Structure 1
Amino acid sequence: MSWIDIGVNLADSRLDAEPVIQRAINAGIEKLIITGTSVQASSDALLLASKQPNTLYTTAGVHPHHAKDFTHKARTILKKLAKEKHVVAIGECGLDFNRNFSSPTQQLHAFEQQLQLASELGLPVFLHERDAFEAQIKLLKQYRHMLVGGVAHCFTGNLAQMNQYLDLGLYIGVTGWVCDTKRGQTLREAVPFLPLENLLLETDAPYLRPKGLPNNRKLDKGNNEPAYLPFIAAELASLMNIDKVKLQQTSYNNTHNLFTKIKLGCKNEH
């Protein structure tokens, strides 16, 4: 049984894609989903995926930071990208009221447009949220009956927030944040109550390098990498008091259940 990393910023300039992918494969990471954060980043991610079609998949979306750039043209391009076989979800989309690089009004518009797009195409949503939980949940509730599913990407919230996502039938994406005994304490307290069937694993590389990871800066330059997914899983399995192999198998199956294009792709590859 292998691993799947559902959130990798592989087009980020901090990552040298080819060696990062090879180290991931060597660590047992079978597939990576590259995160699309803008129209350009989504296009770049799809180009990367086309070069390694048995390993890489992508999302297509506009991050709330870039919501001010969400135009009718952007929506049209995203829709075209999302129809490509390696694009498995719409996003990274959602709300981020922490810095408001785009205004809340612009963010709400871009988010709603992407929820509509996901509904039209029958694709799950890859969700981002920071300091905007109530507004995010309110909009998700309006569209949940039209969506095929989604994941709260890089979830760092508390138990009550996690349960509200679960009530909407969403998956919870857990990153190396769970390894941080200080900043991640709220998440560490929540994950023992996370149903295993709603768990997905991700690194959000090159960000969120797990605390406690051995220093390997000559190799990774201090970045997080998909190869470190098993390290995150080991910490999570300990917190959830379950066997790591069971966590691995279930998260792998959950990924296929949500991102059905990967499941279909696997059938075609073998």
Structure 2
Amino acid sequence: MLRTIRLSSQPDMHLIDIGVNFHSSQIAPHTDTILERAVAAGVVAILATGTSLDASRKASDLARLHPRLLFATAGTHPHTARDWSPSVRQSLESLWERPEVVAIGECGLDYNRNFSTPADQRKAFADQLEAAVLWKKPLFLHCRDAFEDFYAMVEPAVRAGAHGVVHCFTGAADEAAAFVELGLDIGITGWVTDLKRGQALREAVQAIPLDRLHLETDAPYLGPKNHKNRRPYNEPANLPWIAQAVAELKALTVAEVASQCTRNSRRLFGIPA
């Protein structure tokens, strides 16, 4: 039985983590303590990511157990797009009706490993883009090594009224600029702290307007490398380290970054203060 988590965050830091994979076997057994550490670190809201029908159900159910602290996304990740079907969409629609489900996704395209064929990915993505317009819920988007196809699919959806965030963005400044110009927001993870692999992202962050940025851990993955004493898995309590890296790159205080990014996430996902 999960315990109720008291919302008693640090008074000088109010952060929202827009992406945590609570269904992952790495962190699922530790949910209670992870939430307690998150609140102690100043995290006031977290989005539990739905990457499949099963994960989306788990995310929504978990959010119901922790109202005001947890919210959920519901959708089909490109890795699991091969499982997309009319019945999956119908089941997801029952989740999109729930008030704690604040976004459609994680959905998009991933041509890096192609666990699902590109054709299957595009089919599942197209249906979820259509759903975002119909349901008027923001999109929680995934794009990896697929910018041209992804942009070509997202653009007409945005013109039709869809909005959302490109979660766990790891691309370069030109891609970020294209997404921002289109009207999408950008999610920043611990990738920004990786001085070897994350250099393109670090340059991009300097140019992205602060009012279009969101902070996320994508836990249990992508632990921030500027935090040397972290656990074997990433967790929302590490979010201040990501805020710190963004602040350094933008020559701002951590408080300024935290405050604006939190406002951005409340605005996009309708998370109450």
Q: Considering the TM-score relative to the shorter chain, is it more than 0.5?
A: yes
**TM-score, normalised via structure 1 length:** 0.94
Which residue among 216, 221, 224 is the counterpart of 2:234? 224
Q: In 2, are the aligned partners of 1:173 and 1:201 still within 8 Å (CA)?
A: yes
CA offset digits 1:207-265 (Å, max 9, x no partner): 0011131224xxx3x111100100111111001111211111100110011002x23xx
Q: Which residue of 2 aligns with 1:209?
A: 223
CA offset digits 1:182-203 (Å, max 9, x no partner): 0000001111111011010000
Query: Within 1, Cα distance between the matches of 2:242 and 2:169?
Result: 14
AA of the residue aligned to 1:4: I
Percent identity for Structure 1 against Structure 2: 46
Instruction: Give the superposed CA RMSD.
Output: 0.9
1:199 corresponds to 2:213: yes
Aligned pair count reads: 259
Higher helix share: 1
Which residue among 245, 251, 261 is the counterpart of 1:235? 245
CA offset digits 1:134-179 (Å, max 9, x no partner): 0000001121122341001000000100011001111100000000
AA of the residue aligned to 2:192: V
Which residue among 69, 73, 93 is the counterpart of 2:87? 73
Q: In 2, are the aligned partners of 1:91 and 1:125 still within 8 Å (CA)?
A: yes
**TM-score, normalised via structure 2 length:** 0.93
Q: In 1, are the aligned partners of 2:129 and 2:162 still within 8 Å (CA)?
A: no
Which residue among 99, 103, 117 is the counterpart of 2:117? 103
Which residue among 157, 165, 169 is the counterpart of 1:155? 169
1:15-34 equivalences under 5 Å are 15=27, 16-34=30-48
Runs of 4+ in 1 over 6 A off after TM superposition: none
Q: Which residue of 2 aligns with 1:55?
A: 69
CA offset digits 1:6-46 (Å, max 9, x no partner): 00111211111111011000101011100100000000111
Q: Which residue of 2 aligns with 1:130?
A: 144
Query: Within 1, Cα distance between the matches of 2:93 and 2:160?
Result: 17
Q: Which residue of 2 aligns with 1:175?
A: 189
Unmatched runs of 5 consecutive residues or more in structure 1: none
Q: Which residue of 2 aligns with 1:43?
A: 57
AA of the residue aligned to 2:244: A
Of stretches 108-117 and 140-149 in structure 1, the one that deviates more from structure 2 is 140-149
Query: Within 2, Cα distance between the matches of 1:215 and 1:255?
Result: 28
Q: In 1, are the aligned partners of 2:165 and 2:187 still within 8 Å (CA)?
A: yes
Q: In 2, are the aligned partners of 1:123 and 1:147 still within 8 Å (CA)?
A: no
Unmatched runs of 5 consecutive residues or more in structure 2: 1-12
Q: In 2, are the aligned partners of 1:4 and 1:29 still within 8 Å (CA)?
A: yes
Query: Within 1, Cα distance between the matches of 2:149 and 2:61?
Result: 34
1:244 corresponds to 2:254: yes
Q: Which residue of 1 aligns with 2:19?
A: 7
Which residue among 103, 120, 135 is the counterpart of 2:134? 120
